[in-house]
Amino acid sequence: MTHVLTALAWPYANGPRHIGHVAGFGVPADVFARYMRMRGHDVLMVSGTDEHGTPILVQADAEGLTAAEAAAKYNRIIVEDLDALGLSYDLFTRTTTGNHYKTVQELFTTLHANGYILQQRTLGAISPSTGRTLPDRYIEGTCPHCGFDSARGDQCDNCGRQLDPVDLIDPKSRINGETPKFVEEDHFFLDLPAFAEALNAWLDTRTGWRTNVLRFTKNLLDEMHPRPISRDLDWGVPIPLEGWADRPDKRLYVWFDAVIGYLSATIEWARRSGDPEAWKRWWQDPEAVSYYFMGKDNIVFHSEIWPAMLLGANGEGAKGGEPGSLGTLNLPTEVVSSEFLTMEGKQFSSSRRVVIYVRDFLERYSPDALRYYICAAGPENQDSDFTWAEFLRRNNDELVAGWGNLVNRSIAMAAKNFGAVPEPGELEDVDRELLATTKAAFDTIGDLIGANKVRAGIGEAMKTVAAANKYLADTAPWKMKEDPKRQGTVLYTVLQAVSDLKTIMSPFLPHSSQRVHELLGGEGVFAPMPYIEEVADLDEGGATDGPYPILTGDYSDVPKWESVPLVPGTVLEKPVPVFTKLEPSIVDEEIERLNA
């Protein structure tokens, strides 16, 4: 048994998330975590909403809310959506908790003590009329990289690049239109060049990474600069240094605190579990492994910056140093990055209304229909396109006509003819062959999921479904009225295959596997689901706005990843279909909805 940290990218709490987001970080990570638990590993799946930074403030301004109110609003929506999708988080929390603030400040303090945080003079914007610091979000200008004319002081929403206000062409205050004055001031920088050598050595020890992630990260090492970690901002984690901690206009940069969330969420989980030291099993045990899941726009933070921060906190960069109070912390085992999901050929964009929110999707379709699409056709190794026509085809031709039909036909026939799982007679070669196929599928598909090849994994599972459907067609048990013994043997064989397949399918499609388990006469929880719990912040000092929802669950009693013999005589009833066939008209309806 190994301790496996499954670390998912932190969805940003400035709006509801769309299906492209959950295709990148959510579903692939959940498949992995569910499988690893079934293999007997001690999995901890953590994340939360990323709630600091300028875009939250911009959204809050637009809605007439405080930043804390806006963050709380979207945190709740996102928690509910991830719950509905069945993502089996051990803890999904937030970056505004007191526990997170403490952990971030502790890591900053250690990095600072080890000499990896530089204080440098830089140009900051002030308002000429008031003489006060002008926060990044109130400065707008033309992006020097792409020419977008309403880039903000810290980021261009068009090309996604991080900016400094001084980079903007023709900067203007969004408050009163005046041109800001730039004055020298101090800010903090992470000394990335001090980690170049250690990062390079660490990357050389990585195996099994997707080649694009490794290549991209190696290229980053060629040109490393100190990276700013503080901003002119009044929303975020205060800088824990004398003369800075009380300043209302200086905060740690949102990315710096967000990546520390993996650690703080594990600590919060341990504290809530009643064993406050338990987090160390995933972070300090050298045998523990950690897998980080995200979209490709986030690779840099997980394969370069977060490892650099961990090296610095461990005292393992070029300047040496000592581990802080959190001890020596594990670097990522693997950074698993997805490409982008587009929609009907276009980039998802909330502002251009090219978007399908998770919530809207799940109001009309089942969570497993979405999970199936993402597993089978998601952007695992290259960008992939979501189209409603393809969703319809995958749902109807593969999920309903393939897996759903196998479940329905075999259980219905057994229920009708025997009212129970029949007692098998002597197996024939064709029976043994099918059972050998499903048994072998555990190894093949398990290895694929373990290597984060979800697309190939579900492809193999559907091939096994096809083999079972072919077996039914070839043996034709509905023609065996005269030979109930042989009919019973065939139905027993196919039900055993269905039972194996519900286990194999459960990491991908947990909701329907639970249903199949029940249709086969099983009791209790087969594929455990997360649940929402309202909690109070554990500590003072954060920015949560009263009690808030966390996503958590009890996954201690999951079935093993293996074939379990069916018990003849188990009562079966006429099944209700597990999946819903969709009308072809949904394609036009959905496209119309999009253009409305």
Q: How far is the CB of 288 from Zn ion (least distance, A)?
A: 40
**Can you tell me the distance from the alpha carbon of 21 to that of 305, in angstroms, rounded to the nearest whole number?**
22
Nearer to Zn ion, 172 or 218 (CB): 172
Q: How many residues bind Zn ion (CB under 5 A)?
A: 7
Q: How far is the CB of 245 from Zn ion (least distance, A)?
A: 34
C-alpha dihedral (245, 251, 252, 255), degrees to nearest 10: 160
Residue 159 is assigned to a ligand binding site: yes
Q: How far is the CB of 157 from Zn ion (least distance, A)?
A: 8
Residue 375 is assigned to a ligand binding site: no
Nearer to Zn ion, 66 or 158 (CB): 158
Alpha-carbon torsion (183, 186, 189, 193), positive or negative? positive
Nearer to Zn ion, 158 or 179 (CB): 158
Examine residue 66 and tell whether it contacts Zn ion (CB under 5 A): no
Examine residue 157 and tell whether it contacts Zn ion (CB under 5 A): no
Nearer to Zn ion, 148 or 365 (CB): 148
**Can you tell me the distance from the alpha carbon of 57 to that of 283, in angstroms, rounded to the nearest whole number?**
33
Among 39, 76, 122, 148, binds Zn ion (CB under 5 A): 148
Nearer to Zn ion, 158 or 580 (CB): 158
Backbone angles phi, psi at 5, to 5 degrees: -90, 120
H or E stretch including 582? none
Q: How far is the CB of 162 from Zn ion (least distance, A)?
A: 10
Examine residue 182 and tell whether it contacts Zn ion (CB under 5 A): no
Long-range contacts of 208-212 (CB under 8 A, 24+ apart): 208/334, 208/451, 209/334, 209/335, 210/336, 210/337, 210/381, 212/296, 212/337, 212/381
Stretch that binds Zn ion, among 138-146, 174-182, 361-369, 551-559 (CB under 5 A): 138-146
Q: How far is the CB of 212 from Zn ion (least distance, A)?
A: 23
Residue 143 is assigned to a ligand binding site: yes
HEC string of 198-255 equals HHHHHHHCCCCCCHHHHHHHHHHHCCCCCEECEEECCCCCCCCCCCCCCCCCEEECHH
**Can you tell me the distance from the alpha carbon of 130 to that of 314, in angstroms, rounded to the nearest whole number?**
43
Examine residue 168 and tell whether it contacts Zn ion (CB under 5 A): no
Examine residue 169 and tell whether it contacts Zn ion (CB under 5 A): no
Q: CB–CB of 117/37 below 8 Å?
A: no
Q: How far is the CB of 143 from Zn ion (least distance, A)?
A: 3
Nearer to Zn ion, 255 or 262 (CB): 255
Q: CB–CB of 340/379 below 8 Å?
A: yes
Among 128, 149, 159, 589, binds Zn ion (CB under 5 A): 159
Alpha-carbon torsion (56, 73, 385, 299), positive or negative? positive
Q: How far is the CB of 444 from Zn ion (least distance, A)?
A: 45
Examine residue 144 and tell whether it contacts Zn ion (CB under 5 A): no
Long-range contacts of 474-479 (CB under 8 A, 24+ apart): 474/430, 475/430, 477/413, 478/413
**Can you tell me the distance from the alpha carbon of 261 to that of 99, in angstroms, rounded to the nearest whole number?**
10
Nearer to Zn ion, 146 or 440 (CB): 146
Nearer to Zn ion, 157 or 385 (CB): 157
Q: CB–CB of 424/488 below 8 Å?
A: yes
Examine residue 564 and tell whether it contacts Zn ion (CB under 5 A): no
**Can you tell me the distance from the alpha carbon of 38 to that of 36, in angstroms, rounded to the nearest whole number?**
5
Nearer to Zn ion, 146 or 564 (CB): 146
Q: How far is the CB of 191 from Zn ion (least distance, A)?
A: 27
Examine residue 158 and tell whether it contacts Zn ion (CB under 5 A): yes
Among 84, 134, 143, 220, binds Zn ion (CB under 5 A): 143
Examine residue 430 and tell whether it contacts Zn ion (CB under 5 A): no
Q: CB–CB of 364/54 below 8 Å?
A: no
- Residue from 365, 269, 254 nearest 301 by CA: 254
**Can you tell me the distance from the alpha carbon of 413 to that of 416, in angstroms, rounded to the nearest whole number?**
5
Stretch that binds Zn ion, among 40-48, 127-135, 155-163, 570-578 (CB under 5 A): 155-163
Residues at the binding site for ATP are 350
Contact residues for Zn ion (CB under 5 A)?
143, 145-146, 148, 156, 158-159
Residues at the binding site are 143, 146, 156, 159, 350
